[in-house]
Structure 1
């Protein structure tokens, strides 16, 4: 199994209150005053208080072409990931040249060469670093990325693997789309990036690190749900598709999926000491809690992230994980990290804080 050595986040400099964003974009979404009222109610009930955006608010008044918005994506994404990755490596006591395996994920922009390739020479990674850019996993990619880097490190225990994720959701903003999905999305998603540094068992020996071990992971794809969550292309760029079908799907399936996964590892829901749930929105978080029959503020960290940043897609669980690494931990504590994405797909990652911390 692999060890998480460090996690770091990075955000655009522009940060606005939810009320400021709503006031600015309401008329861009629809000229209809009654529909603007619906949008305002949706934004107010999102539990989002602030969001980081790549541009000043006024800049969103101009409808961008996909060419311009994607060019901005490449530039800003590279800058944010440089900050996040260098911070995470520094925390782990590693250098860019130490990275053997680099996985990159995003669903809000595309480029070839991919953003991970642009970072290699820029920050001094080795030219023989193994790169795996992935696209299409959406919100589930942060959890899935940790699982896939772990898969690699199990077979390469002396190596260093890195996951980098960036989502610039505001660049997908759709003018003149008064669909319910777009009105919800325009009040929910934010911009940000994160980097996770992981090390194989043998590489971990002799390092100073306090992060958890990846014990196990499981993927779940729900057939026939392709249109429940999606990301489609339009003339103005990518368009987020959200439907009301997410919560019923969670409540019908997620509890059993988690129970079976934990049972395979000799655990029950009551054995989990802490949770890192993807903050897909208020209804989604409530559905997770219902499906798992959990009481109290077990998802307090997810509600905090939703309020401060909005839904960051693949970055959200990584931002929460970065915060969780700052908290004191008991030996042997178990954490379940999970997310949902297009498909609909789910990824579960079981983390355990080791009995003995790695020492120099």
Structure 2
């Protein structure tokens, strides 16, 4: 008989919650920010408001946004003229759009995340769906479950109208689910379209006007889980801890109210000041237990709420200009996508780290912070860990070997597994040598552990493959390590094209008279010596 405590312990994962895949999507319609004012005032029949249009043009020019993607097209807006007025009744038309388009856009992002994850969608156990759009029952979580063909038993959480801080909230929930449900794989989807907020301009409504300057459409999806399957699932970011707070004196600074005119935004002009004056308190609360107080020593995933907010946070914390590059890039290319924004930034940062050959997914740094802010004024702060790029890349190098055999994983294989693969025609010596040399080519610039590769290694592997035949076809018997690639330390003599220097430049290019005794025995056993490694630090 087991106790309740034993049952609870068995239900919990051993490792931390980890983001394993990210997918993003946008509608096809793209609007350039420099031409948007003319389009916006024309489609809303507001061209007579010349002073307001000039103000709007100036706001767009100062937004640092280059383009935004939106579901709403000119054709759609002409069919729904009430949406183009400032506060005309239009909720039914808006709801008819969002209940279809929000799950559809979320599906596009989810498919990309599931593909990167590399596991069948039947292994998804939980779904978190988030959108600022209006409530509908059954909700967007149900619609997405149907669109993706997920198991009906998937446990769903639907989050409506949390606003811009919800990109951090969904990660908090995913962390709790992954770490407290052993084997859980959580699909997280944030899908936002501006059909719920779009409206014509008003001289007296600053909140709506700034929304038309900043907001764009986008969806992002993540797969989150603990205790990753080695060689199949890869870590992108680890979720360490979470903190949420309501900023003092912030009542009424960011609000959104759903009514007959859709979701009407209310913003005060002191939002940037409130956030910048309080952000360090949130950081200290989150990072003091970790012993981190230098905000330039971490990477930043900051909600791209607008350039003024980013500028004031940067100034208040003394951040170097490069620290908020990812937030500024996403703001420039997509605008403010509400809850999806920080997830786009996660994706952008890990992609650039791979492209630039950095050691970790988080700008080459180990620790980072994700923070979101929105109605309340609510701030969520989350410390993150970025794993080494070599861990992230590991599944890339399963190459042809795993492609030819679904039950053989070279990353986890031991000697017996490899010998079994040899004898059952699932692996050749050349494939194995190519695999190791490819890994060396990728990881050695970071690790600096291999001094040189044997230029004859592939030729030796080809020769070994010719010799390796099953006994009943007349082939000779081979030993347990025949065809195995092996690295030697640089102080072990090899009479071949490899140098033996013992870390001395004076011996570079010298020729040893014969193989060391160890090397002779290894060659007799059929080992492929594929390079020389650096020595231990003395």
| Same fold, judged at TM 0.5 (above) | yes
> Could you say what secondary structure the match of 1:239 adopts?
strand
Aligned partner of 1:88 among 107, 113, 124: 113
Aligned partner of 1:166 among 174, 179, 191: 191
Aligned partner of 2:315 among 282, 290, 312: 290
Deviates more, 1:231-240 or 1:160-169: 231-240
Contact 1:262 1:269 in 2 (8 A): no
Work out which of the two has the higher radius of gyration on C-alpha atoms and give 1 or 2.
2
Query: How far 1:176 moved relative to its partner?
Result: 4.6
Q: Does the C-alpha gap of structure 1 residues 280 and 270 become closer, same or farther in structure 2, counting only changes over 3 Å?
A: closer
Contact 1:105 1:134 in 2 (8 A): yes
Aligned partner of 1:320 among 329, 335, 345: 345
Aligned to 2:209: 183
Aligned to 2:49: 32
Aligned partner of 2:359 among 297, 306, 330: 330
Q: RMSD of the TM alignment (CA)?
A: 2.0
Query: How far does the alpha carbon of each residue in 1:72-122 deviate from its partner, in whole angstroms, 9 at most, with x for none?
Result: 112111211111111101101122211111111111333211111112132
> Could you say what secondary structure the match of 1:298 adopts?
helix
Note the residue ranges of structure 2 that are not aligned, 5 or more in a row: 1-15, 84-89, 395-410, 412-538
Query: How far does the alpha carbon of each residue in 1:225-254 deviate from its partner, in whole angstroms, 9 at most, with x for none?
Result: 231011112322111222112111112211
Query: How far 1:297 moved relative to its partner?
Result: 1.9
Q: Does the C-alpha gap of structure 1 residues 353 and 109 become closer, same or farther in structure 2, counting only changes over 3 Å?
A: same
- C-alpha separation in 2, matches of 1:226 and 1:126: 42
TM-score, scaled to structure 2: 0.64
Query: How far does the alpha carbon of each residue in 1:205-242 deviate from its partner, in whole angstroms, 9 at most, with x for none?
Result: 55331412111121111255231011112322111222
Q: Does the C-alpha gap of structure 1 residues 29 and 347 become closer, same or farther in structure 2, counting only changes over 3 Å?
A: farther
Contact 2:134 2:258 in 1 (8 A): no
1:309 matched to 2:334:
yes
- C-alpha separation in 1, matches of 2:66 and 2:94: 25
Q: Does the C-alpha gap of structure 1 residues 271 and 25 become closer, same or farther in structure 2, counting only changes over 3 Å?
A: closer
Aligned partner of 1:346 among 379, 384, 387: 379
1:43 matched to 2:68:
no
Note the residue ranges of structure 1 that are not aligned, 5 or more in a row: none
Contact 1:185 1:240 in 2 (8 A): yes
Aligned partner of 1:11 among 26, 43, 60: 26
Query: How far 1:203 moved relative to its partner?
Result: 4.2
Query: How far does the alpha carbon of each residue in 1:125-157 deviate from its partner, in whole angstroms, 9 at most, with x for none?
Result: 111111011123200111111111101111113
Contact 1:231 1:239 in 2 (8 A): yes
1:207 matched to 2:226:
no
1:63 matched to 2:82:
yes
Query: How far 1:271 moved relative to its partner?
Result: 6.3
Contact 1:160 1:203 in 2 (8 A): no
Q: Does the C-alpha gap of structure 1 residues 78 and 193 become closer, same or farther in structure 2, counting only changes over 3 Å?
A: same
- C-alpha separation in 2, matches of 1:77 and 1:130: 20
TM-score, scaled to structure 1: 0.93
Q: Does the C-alpha gap of structure 1 residues 122 and 170 become closer, same or farther in structure 2, counting only changes over 3 Å?
A: closer
Contact 2:131 2:159 in 1 (8 A): yes
Aligned to 2:420: none
- C-alpha separation in 2, matches of 1:24 and 1:169: 16
Aligned to 1:265: 290
Contact 1:26 1:40 in 2 (8 A): no
- C-alpha separation in 2, matches of 1:95 and 1:272: 38
- C-alpha separation in 2, matches of 1:52 and 1:155: 37
Quick one: higher RCO (CA 8 Å, sep 6+), 1 or 2? Answer: 1
Q: Does the C-alpha gap of structure 1 residues 252 and 148 become closer, same or farther in structure 2, counting only changes over 3 Å?
A: same
Contact 1:170 1:190 in 2 (8 A): no
Aligned partner of 2:276 among 251, 269, 272: 251
Contact 1:223 1:343 in 2 (8 A): no
The count of corresponding residues between Structure 1 and Structure 2 is 359
Deviates more, 1:220-229 or 1:281-290: 220-229
Contact 1:250 1:291 in 2 (8 A): no
Contact 2:103 2:143 in 1 (8 A): yes
